[in-house]
A and B are shown apart, each in its own frame.
Chain A
Amino acid sequence: MDQPKISLDLILANIATEAEKAQDTATKASEVLLGPLETAMATTPYDVVYEEDRVKLKHYRTPGDVTLKTPLLVTYALINRETMLDLQPDRSVVQTFLNGGIDLYMIDWGYPTRQDRFVTIDDHVNGYMDNIVDYILEKTGAPKINLMGICMGGTFSVIYTALHPEKIKNLITTVTPTNFDTDKGLLHVWMRAIDTDKIIDTFGNLPGDVMNLGFLMLNPARLMIDKYVGFFEGMGSKSFVENFVRMEKWIFDSPDVPGATFRQFANDFYKKNLLIQNKLEIGGRRVDLKKITMPLLNYYGMYDHLVPPEACNMLTKCVGSSDTEDVSLDTGHIGIYVSSKCQREFAPKIIRWLRERDGEQRAVAVAAEALGERSSPVPRLKIPSRPAAEKKPARTARPRHEKPIPTRKEQNINPSLTQVIQETI
């Protein structure tokens, strides 16, 4: 019989050391958890400048000068909330944009109730979004706006831009699903397997809690076990606990999705994949991606398990624009916005990209600055200088699939959403 070659003494010694560490952590944890914690999120000041039904438009107060004349409108998804872009002061996409001199507007979709169950994608895109864009254009006097969409909000932005190209100067899509014919993400597989019509007929809207349960079920080992094991390990640190709680607050702050919108999103997008084929109809009008002729910047995460790269990277090939760029980051769905590494790459890159395309408006700002017409009391973000080669708008600046796309089995061991979150916080 083979004897296991393992030193029992060593194991016992390690157990004793770990028990001591655990005791130490527990003592610190009790002090942290019983003491005051700063877990507020979305603390950047803003004004609600437009309201329609449950939808609000936030206009952020710029700490310094606005150096990009074209205002930027950010459209978040109907799933979870836009507070993710301003999770904590030192890690906030919103603050980076403001420091970069962007005049920033953001749509807050609010909390749909049963009375919103009949609200369709058409109402969101050609109704709320269009009214908001008109409001910004009128308020700022700008001929066009920059539009940035996140996840499902990105899909809405693509539809909006294709239907109203005359109002959009530059389009930025981040983790935006446009091609739904892929088996890479479990969400895509599941959405095709379930009868969404029945769900909506039964519940009216898609309940946020049901959706959250579905997201947890995408990776229960990590999201329901490992994540909390990580919390117990780190709960001796006040800042760790604060950041963890902020993330928990954001994750479980899930508004319901209006029934008619979800029904259409599941059927026309996930099941029929109409958008990328230019066959989608919204409000009686066909959405033709070729009408997107303005510059397009398309961001996605290589390890995104909700919206995999395959769901995002076809868009730039299907639009009518010749100035497009795909940027894939080595992270997941949320990591793009909250991980410390991506904080250094993501928002600053968008500011640079917009600045390059701000055209004469930028020239006006620079000229005004040169004439001393503007003095900025608050120091502005210093945009890092870029290599000359990078300054040219390039069609696909970064080669697609710089790294080989991992196979399904490989994806299992790649960083999951929680790992990214944990790494972040």
Chain B
Amino acid sequence: MEENKSKKRDMEAMMQEWMKASSGLWTSMLKSGPASAPDFVPPDQEGKKSRYAESMEATLKRMQSASSALNDPKMADAILKGLNTLPEFFMKISKAGWEASARIQEKVAEKAGKIGQKTDAYQFENLDQGIFKVWREIYEEEFSQYFKIPQLGLTRYYQERLNHLLDQSNILKPTLSEFLYLLYLPMEKSMKVFQDKIEALSKEGNAPDKAKDYYNLWIKILEGHYMNLFKSPEYLAAMGELINQMEIYVGAKNDVLQDVLQSLPIPTNKEMDNIYKDLYLMKKRIKVLEKKLTQKDKSQTAESS
């Protein structure tokens, strides 16, 4: 307790000293600056102070008054208090991160144990892909919000689009991982079934003696697993989700690219699409008119002959 008090006193003394030194510095700067030099008068503006001198004088005076204000013990105390709250502020921010991290670890440990529990041969229904969902949920609850903080000022729209891209990139990664995990499952399962089959064949004395026969057996099992996987609702859902997220990501990337391209003399896709559409419609109209004209010409020729 005593130690804390003495530390506080030391800080206050240091603050006072720094404020005094600062105030002194600005006073001496004010005195030594060109604006205060009586001899310095620009040749074309005799009898007047230069804009530079005026501006410099005003700035230094502001700095001096600010330093003087900080000399007030109450003000210094307020600053110190503010400084003391900084760690608390950082703690609050990092707490959200730590909590999320702990939740991820807990759920990953819980879900990781479940992976593989329900992966029977040729069965892909009701797979436990919880680990990917957990990651997405946690990301959306804890992290995604930081990318959605409303942006302010002149560059707000650009910043918002960039944040959207970063956010979408983070969402796409686990979706892709989930899809790749599903694609890997038939490999894992086919190896297991293959091993069982070889064991059974060996016991019967019918084990193949050529490497190619083993390969043929395995590829057939693998093909069967993939066929079953591709028809499973889990795969269809994962594929649909991946395509969906991929589309949002590509859209977000294009928006950012468009911002970049706007500053370069290169037309954007959006601009080109507008031109293409006009061109397409014009061509279509011309073709219809051309056909009508040809028909008219033909009928006129037939009539005249």
Contacts and interface: CB of A to CB of B under 8 A. Distances in A.
Contacts of A115: 272, 276, 279-280
A118 B280 contact: yes
A31 interface: no
Contact of A199 (B215, B236, B243, B273): B243
B287 interface: yes
A295 B295 CA distance: 30
B269 A204 contact: yes
Nearest to A13: B209
B33 interface: no
A123 B284 CA distance: 9
Given A2-B203, A4-B203, A114 B215 contact: no
**Secondary structure class of chain B's binding surface, majority of residues:** helix
18 contacts: A4-B207, A5-B207, A6-B205, A14-B209, A114-B276, A115-B272, A115-B279, A118-B277, A189-B230, A189-B231, A189-B236, A190-B236, A194-B240, A199-B243, A202-B250, A225-B222, A412-B223, A413-B220
B287 A222 contact: no
A11 interface: yes
Contact of B202 (A5, A195, A203, A218): A5
A11 B209 contact: yes
Nearest to B211: A18
Contact of B247 (A10, A15, A199): A199
B202 A6 contact: yes
B29 interface: no
Nearest to B243: A194
A408 B232 CA distance: 13
B97 interface: no
B24 interface: no
A195 B236 contact: no
A319 to B, nearest CB: 28
Among B247, B250, B269, the most chain A Cβ lie within 10 Å of the Cβ of: B247
Interface in B170-204: 183, 186, 199, 202-204
A4 to B, nearest CB: 4
Interface in B266-297: 269, 272-273, 276-277, 279-280, 283-284, 287
B202 A119 contact: no
Nearest to B214: A11
Interface string B234-255: 0010011001100100110000
Contacts of A4: 199, 202-203, 207
A221 interface: yes
Interface in A375-425: 408, 411-413, 416
A14 B215 CA distance: 14
A127 interface: yes
A359 B220 CA distance: 50
Interface of B: 183, 186, 199, 202-205, 207, 209-212, 215, 219-220, 222-224, 226-227, 230-231, 236, 239-240, 243-244, 247, 250-251, 269, 272-273, 276-277, 279-280, 283-284, 287
Given A117-B276, A193-B240, A195-B240, 11 more contacts: A4-B199, A5-B202, A6-B205, A6-B209, A10-B209, A18-B210, A194-B243, A195-B244, A221-B222, A226-B219, A412-B223
Contacts of B283: 53
A198 B247 contact: yes
A219 interface: yes
A4 B199 CA distance: 8
Contact of B219 (A6, A190, A193, A222): A222
A198 B230 CA distance: 22
Contacts of B210: 14, 18
A186 B230 contact: yes
A218 B230 contact: yes
Nearest to B224: A412
Contacts of B273: 114, 117, 204
A129 B240 CA distance: 34
Contacts of A11: 209
B280 A119 contact: yes
A217 B202 CA distance: 33
A202 B247 contact: yes
A220 interface: yes
Contacts of A202: 247, 250-251
A3 to B, nearest CB: 9
A391 to B, nearest CB: 41
Contacts of B211: 14-15, 18
